[in-house]
Structure 1
Amino acid sequence: MGKAKGAFRLTSLDAEAERLGLHATMALADARAMIPRLVVVEEDKAADAALLCAVADWCDCYTPLVALDGEDGLLLDISGCTHLFGGEAALGRDCLLRLKRQGFTLRAAIAGTARTAWGVARYGRGGIVPPGGESEALWPLPTAALGLEAARQHGLARMGLTHIADLETRPRAPLAARFGRDLLDRLDQAFGRLPQALSPRRPLPECMAERRFAEPLAHEAGIRSALTGLGESLAGMLEARGEGARLFEASFFRSDGAVRRLGIETGMPLRDPAAVDRLFALKLDALVDPLDPGFGFDLIRLSAGVTEPFAVDQGTLAASGKEEPDEAAAERALTEVADAIAARIGPDRVRRFLAQDSHDPERAALAVPALRHGELARLGFSPDWPAPSAAPERPLRLLSRPEPIEVLAEIPDGPPTRFRWRRVLHEVAKAEGPERIAAEWWATTGRIAPTRDYFRVEEPGGRRFWLYRDGLYGREAAHPPWFMHGLFA
């Protein structure tokens, strides 16, 4: 029961309560007056929604096209799937039997249109509507079987139109003028004259491979072996399509209805079954909540969610006859390392830098998830990095914030000869610079920041630092402050 219109009302009933004359939206006081010993439980919409989503996840074992239908129903598009279960009748029996074993009371219908199946399941006796049998199944049903709101049902009833047969035999133009075109659209959807879109709750995979087991599979070795075999099957499908996958998902359907999903992402298109198997092994080993088979898995599925064209690159050969490493090979090797780390700790925790079109040190690079680095670079979100030199001109990593330092220089606008940073005095053996960087006035609002003069300095022990003077001496500041911005490796 729940609170509605200022009173506690019944929201759901079991079969015994309906047999005794109770109905949904009935006031709780009236219901207790009829049945003093009525047992009621306060509704929990969040828990009900979570349970419905869990059942929808489990129904993925029949078809990936599963949509939520309100707060208490599901719509499954089983087109092209029934032969895997021995036909529509066998699939329906199997689904109903398994859900009843899980403690659910339900009614199901199979029909050629979603609107017909919905109406027959909720307002009819359920079952299978044969092709061409929509009229026989729908005509005796009330107009509510079209999913109409209460106001339109009441308006139709006042005109004596209480059943779908009454609507189907009336002229269409007056009905549309009085009750809206949507009424006729619902009729046409029910009888198959107008298509009805179904919105799956989960995105459809590009391709998938699955294996069902006569006896539930509970041993870890068997589970990993099945996953390896599915990887080989999926690799064959991807090869036939000339594609590789960037997102793989393994779904484990337990015999008690629970579903566990594990996903891995890759930085480049992948279809090598050994590599996919290795990444899933890393994922399984790193799980905080281990994969619990319970009484065993009835079904294991491996799907490719995101695919891209897979280009087979031919490596170059040096004059010596040995394979010569190139930039593409180095990029692939780095991507494989990032994939392996991401499989263990998560894709958003592994990052790479994208070069940016800016000379400002804070804006010269952007940290992005490593698995999206190649995609963003190919789309032109990153210019080329400067050509590498013998000694880097800037440190690879900067301090999170420049830290103030005390500097002694021979002349005010010259390089430092010594500096104090974090209470430690450093002597300067060599200094290079300045690298003068002016503020990007076109990207600045308000006051323009002072010009910076950067110096690369090295102490006698070999440690190298990146310092800057904040402001031009005599023009922007009388005594420009100095800051430490980074350290060279």
Structure 2
Amino acid sequence: MALWFPYLPADRLRQQEPNRIAQRPKRQSSAPPDAAPESPVVFVAKQKNALRLAAVDAAAQRQGLAPGMALADARVRVPGLIAVEADTAADRHWLGLLARSCTRFSPHVVPHPPDAIAIDIAGCEHLFGGEAGLTEALAEHVEQRGMTARIACAATAEAALALARHARLPVVEEGKAIRTLPVTALGLDDEATLGLVRAGLKSIGAVATRPRAALAARFGIEAVRALERLLGEEHRPGTPLRHQAPLRFERRFAEPVAHERAVAVAFAELLAEGAQVLEERGLGGRRFRLTLDRSDGAKRRLVIETGAPTRDAALVLRLFDERIASLADPLDPGFGYDRLLLHIPLAEPLVATQPALDGAEKADGRLAELIDRLSTRLGPGAIRRLVPNDSHIPEQAQLALPAIHALAPVRWPAPRSGEPPLRPLFLFDPPQPVEVIAEVPDGPPHRFRWKRNLHEVRLYEGPERIATEWWHLPPAPLPPA
């Protein structure tokens, strides 16, 4: 079964940045109130020193715009279109997320960039009531994610993809529908496709009537292989998404355990097991969750976070001790625990670090451990770190973020020697009145009075005009047509 997303870039942008393309032209006076047309959205990429359309949405396609058209020609046809720079990496990542979400229907899911997914449904379709039920479930699944998709089913992945892209759905007879597809369904390069059309072979059925040896001699062996895959004569297995087992480690007891020492030993074994698995995967945990199940059915969950990825079992154990010590309601084993569950929901790559030549421990590691301990004991928002922010408004030029979420201290730009600071060192809240005397309006001050004291100005720099960031303002309404 294949899913083709004809408007994937536009659907992705509407989900991730709805305000970016939410602008719509004003309605005509004669149109009904609920008939506001959408602004066409096109995605632009530079091709051969010219801006051309790389993708369009449904509204742009209805108005005659298509990929490959020059942006200038598209603006002449549709003056009110919205042009957005194409982001191939974001589209590929979005397709990967969609493919991973489809693993609930089958474990064998293969993304086909830039805009399609193939799913091997052998042995899975009966769980959803057959192919029709699975198709309906997939359509509802992608619709809930705001995506427009065409779904088709065939004997091979290539045939299903070709039917989804080029056939009129629903397909009644697979073999007949495949033979009526255009030669572009073969997926060959532009030169080979143009050669087939010039030879009078405009459909898959016309190509299938020709001897395979003659096709291979003139258009290459890839053309023959693509034809055989469409006709179901050759099967090429795809590379499905890799599925890694979740980082969950469990200890069950035959009899409920209430002794603190026995629970601590079992938890230390879980941490050691988790550290070994993290090392095998090259990861380090950032969030650890411990669930204690009592024999009477009550559950208690403890969560800790670290500022940097780690697989140090001793460090994680100390952080859990800090968390337990800071509980307002102490842990009560009751009649004992019958299960311990350690889950690591957040893990990141952990690379090896070079220690100091003298064997001394770096200060950064001790500082990170201190931040983890204080944040665990006092709360994530109690310890904060100032980081620079890209804003020309002075009060927004820095942010106070939780130190445990800022992985590493950001180095602030060092001022040049002999130069005054670009911004004031202190800001007063509320502002304090200053009386300024200048020769000309908006000119440099000669003297000013602050807190009843008169100050003479010897040197000055500026002025710097600080205004609202215009790129964050809502778009101005369009003039009436």
TM bin (shorter chain):
0.3 to 0.5
Q: TM-score, normalised by structure 2?
A: 0.45
- Higher Rg of the two aligned structures: 1
